[in-house]
Amino acid sequence: MSYELTDLRVFQAIANSGNLSAAAADLYLSPSATSYRLKNLEHALGTPLFTRVAKGMELTPAGEVLLHHVNDLLSSIESMDSDVSRFASGLRGNIRLVANSSSLHGFLIPSLGRFLLANPGINIDLIERASDAIPAAVASHEFDVGVMAGVAESSSVESRAYATDELVIVTPLGHSLAPSGSINFEQALDYHFVCLSRSSSNFKFLSEASQRTGRKLLTRLHVPTFDAVFSLVAAGIGIAMVPRSVVRSSGERGRVEVVAMREAWASRQLTLVTRRDEKMAPLIRSFALSLLDDRSLRGDEQR
């Protein structure tokens, strides 16, 4: 067979975009050059890889098989480049991290700061998502590492215990919920909530919990940060559901009351997930181990 690595990159780009012109633009090639590369690859393999449809181009069955191998191959090449380049100019690379709000705001930020200071040649792309979406995002190679609440139910990823945390209700000082020390979640639904943004994993979890009770969530407003949530709760605007770890790290304990919830789901195991892949890049493995070994951030040691 006679084809080049560029042919495989062209094929992957067309498969991802479903459009030859869009793939050409992404690769800074002319449409004619992109078409030539694709024809060369199809000729070398002896089979069509795409069929043309009204919306663009769709993979043939042979194309589906090839895409699986090309994704693995190009990912391995990227790992190879990253691993070899660190010998020339120190540890370098890019890590894609996805996390839910509890782990992100309660645990990860200080760890990431220390890791980046120790490794100036490394960059991290960090995205927040709901926990139930994280295993699939890691398994599909969209992210390298994920941190989530609960355990990943997927054979494609490996789960390791990262930290423990607890969802609690914070109220203004002197609030009627505070003296009991612990409440059922439904008791909190009698009051208005201060919430994070609608797209945050924290708000999505809160909304789903209220829906399971059949009660409506009374929302006063949405704000972008936990610091804003605490300030508004302290001012008497409403109550909030937050991770206990975030209360500890915020320094707000003297301005708000913290009330435990009796539901089993309020206590949560945070889990680090990586792809179940023997060829994991040493950079990704080192990063994951640095998070797991950062015991100064474990919630059970800071209570």
Buried b (16+ CB within 10 A) or exposed e, 24-52: bebbebeeeebbebbebbbeebeeebbee
pLDDT reported for residue 119 = 86
The residues near 186 (Cβ < 8 Å, ≥ 6 apart) are 213, 215
Q: Which superfamily, per CATH, for 91-163+268-302?
A: Periplasmic binding protein-like II (3.40.190.10)
Give residue for tokens 């919630």: 299
**Helix or strand (DSSP H, E) at 116:** helix 109-118
Per the model's pLDDT, the better-predicted residue between 248 and 189 turns out to be 189
Domains 91-163+268-302 and 166-265 agree in fold: yes
Residue 110 has which token pair? 């200080």
CATH class of the region 166-265: alpha beta
> Does 1.10.10.10 match the CATH number of domain 5-87?
yes
Indicate the domain borders of the chain.
5-87, 91-163+268-302, 166-265
What pLDDT digit, counting tens, does each position of 249-295 carry?
Answer: 766 667 899 999 999 999 988 999 999 876 778 888 889 999 998 85
Question: Using 50, 70 and 90 to split pLDDT, how confident is the model at 106?
Answer: confident
Residue 231 has which token pair? 């300030």
Question: Using 50, 70 and 90 to split pLDDT, how confident is the model at 301?
Answer: very low
Angle between helices 61-89 and 5-17 (to 10 degrees): 120
Please say whether the beta carbons of 9 and 20 come within 8 A: no
Confidence (pTM): 0.61
What pLDDT digit, counting tens, does each position of 13-63 carry?
Answer: 999 999 999 988 888 788 999 999 999 999 999 999 999 998 889 999 999
Mean pLDDT, the chain, whole residue set = 87
